[in-house]
Amino acid sequence: MRQQYARRSQVLAGVMAFFSLAVIVQMTRIQNSPEAAVFRQQSENYAYELKTFYPNRGEIYDRNGRLLAGQKTVYEIGVDMNTMTDSHAIAFAVSDALGMDYNQILEVLQNPPEGISYIVLADFVEAQTALYLRELKTALQEQAPEGALGGLTGLQFQSHPMRSYPENALGSNILGFVNREGKGYFGVEENYDNLLAGNPVQVLVPTDPNKAFEIPRVPDGTTLILTVNRDLQASAEKILDNALYEYGAQDGVIVIMDPRSGELLAVATSRRMDLNKFWNYGVVYSNATEFNSAISKTYEPGSVSKILTMAAALDSGTVTPNTTYLDTGSVLIGGVTIQNWDQNPWGVQNMVGCLQHSLNVCMVNLAVQMGPGTFYSYMDAFGLGHLTNVDLAGESAGRLKVPGDSDWYPVDLGTNAFGQGVAVTPIQMLAAVSAVVNDGRMVTPHVLHAMVRDGRQYDVPAQFAGSPISAQTADTLTEMLAISLESESSQALVPGYRVAGKTGTAEIPVDGFYSAAQTNASFIGWGPVDDPQFMIYVWLERPTTSPWGSETAAPVFSEMAKKTVVLLDIPPDSIRQQIRASR
């Protein structure tokens, strides 16, 4: 009998041991399963929530540290429907402070959409107005009887950053703007949007306020320092506005560039907008090309492009400055007769006279002597028909027709030589002519001077777009252009400074025919000739007092140059020569 009980006990013990082992095995399996890992992670993070932190957008400064774009705090004003006690009081206070319609606010508060517990009444409210409403809410709560709630209970205020432009419309065409969703449009804001915006960070944030120290710091977006001189920009805009009024022009541009580096010191256009009111964009501009016509709007440049034709002729060995020809006043090319601007012959002329009198016939002869292959290879090297890659959003490439294109005709060789039948932008002409100013090297125009990230500044080096002509050609042509201005006592001259440059007058097609009364008047010039430190391009569209660039754009250049040498602290030629001689 005892032996029977012993066997039963052994069997029972074995069964219990088996079940115990099975339980242990199952526990081990569960603990090491993927589901257990998720459960452990959830249990560890029960006091955390996943949040996305957005960095502050980088600021933008001019080259001298003037703030051009920054951040300001604005408020979203809403109502917590669960705690609201007096819809009439809230509607009255908000409508009075924000200039909104009382009845509309009251209707929204008294008949909210089903399931909505929070309603936004207004956003991007200025801090001063939001703080006034907050103080009013506090005052009413303090005046309420004991145990009662104030009339503005439920009114909520949420602060957030908004892009701010302290200079309003100044340089608006350079800066661009940021919309309410934080996206940059036009100019620097669009071109460097990713740098300025920074990188959002997603992290688990403790809900326990005692662990607030664990909230990460999100690095701000990159701060940009521009090449723009704020005071020079303001002067350029003022001079342009006065020129538009004085000469009755429809549109205009003044661009100032350092020809040694391509740094854009000022870019003034006639249409500007207060960037703090970017929603007025459609009121100010009819299309995107108008936002910055210096880089986006194409036109026929006229005689300023004769600089490029002469550069090609000199560099290719086709002519020298003393080469002469007999100007008869007209020339036949491609079955079409081309005449000088005054339709008169000028007799025997050398190449300096060709530039001084801006003779179309001379340029046609040069293009024919070079031939299409040589002429267009130089124009291509000068960047006509190509983007300059200026670091502003919205640049247009223009167009240079070449042999082989379906719409190119032999006469185009002649008209292209004096700037008709080719579409360019002001920034293209600056880049192309910079080769003449900068010893044969073309610069790439740019507005970014430096970037500041994590307390360190990274300067942007000058970039070059090739060397279409030799240094000797550049120096020779600069001297020819300086002499031509001095010989004709041009209105572009600057007292105390020797400058070089060229006027441009291009007829504008009207109903399929070129109109002598409607022109693009322009002037491009630089100085001082012995040490070029600035290039200025002036373009006036459809001036009405005179169609000629020599009578409109040239004096604007002179006025702008006078202001430039003062603001850039460039001594007169005589002073600089004395300083050099004393060294």
- Nearest Cα to Cα of residue 265 among 232, 241, 291: 232
Q: Would you call 240 helix, strand, or coil by DSSP?
A: helix
How large is the greatest C-alpha to C-alpha distance in the chain, in angstroms?
147
Q: Establish whether domains 67-166 and 230-582 are of one fold.
A: no
Q: What is the rounded distance in angstroms from the CA atom of residue 48 to the CA atom of residue 30?
A: 25
Task: Indicate the CATH number for domain 230-582.
Answer: 3.40.710.10
CB-based contacts of 539: which residues, under 8 Å, 6+ apart?
252, 253, 254, 299, 426, 520, 521, 522, 553
Q: What is the rounded distance in angstroms from the CA atom of residue 343 to the CA atom of residue 545?
A: 21
Q: Could you check whether the bond before residue 209 is cis, i.e. omega within 30 degrees of 0?
A: no
Helix H or strand E encompassing 515:
strand 513-527
In Å, how far are 120, 199, 220, 274 from 57, measured between CA atoms? 24, 10, 6, 19
Q: What is the rounded distance in angstroms from the CA atom of residue 52 to the CA atom of residue 305?
A: 54
Q: What is the rounded distance in angstroms from the CA atom of residue 178 to the CA atom of residue 191?
A: 12
The dihedrals phi and psi of 220, each to the nearest 5 degrees, come to: -65, 165
- Nearest Cα to Cα of residue 553 among 513, 517, 525, 580: 525
Residue type, 315: D
Domain coordinates in residue numbering, the chain: 2-44, 67-166, 230-582
pLDDT tens digits, the chain, 583 residues: what are they?
555 555 666 666 666 766 667 667 666 666 666 665 555 555 455 566 666 667 789 999 999 999 999 988 888 898 888 888 888 888 898 899 998 998 998 888 888 888 788 888 888 888 899 899 888 888 888 787 766 666 788 888 888 888 999 999 999 999 999 998 889 999 999 999 999 988 777 676 666 555 555 556 777 889 999 999 999 999 999 999 999 999 999 999 999 999 999 999 999 999 999 999 999 999 999 999 999 999 999 999 999 999 999 999 999 999 999 999 999 999 999 989 999 988 899 999 999 999 999 999 999 999 999 999 999 999 999 999 999 999 999 999 999 999 999 999 999 999 999 999 999 999 999 999 999 999 999 999 999 999 998 888 999 998 999 999 999 999 999 999 999 999 887 899 999 999 999 999 998 888 777 878 889 999 999 999 999 999 999 999 999 999 999 999 999 999 999 999 999 999 998 888 888 887 7
CATH superfamily, with its number, for domain 67-166:
Penicillin-binding protein 2a (Domain 2) (3.90.1310.10)
Helix 127-143 to helix 87-98 angle, to the nearest 10 degrees? 150
Residues forming a β-bridge with 264 = 257
**Token pair of 38, please?**
């998720």
Q: Would you call 112 helix, strand, or coil by DSSP?
A: coil
Helix H or strand E encompassing 453:
strand 448-453
Dihedral sign for Cα atoms in the order 88, 91, 95, 101: negative
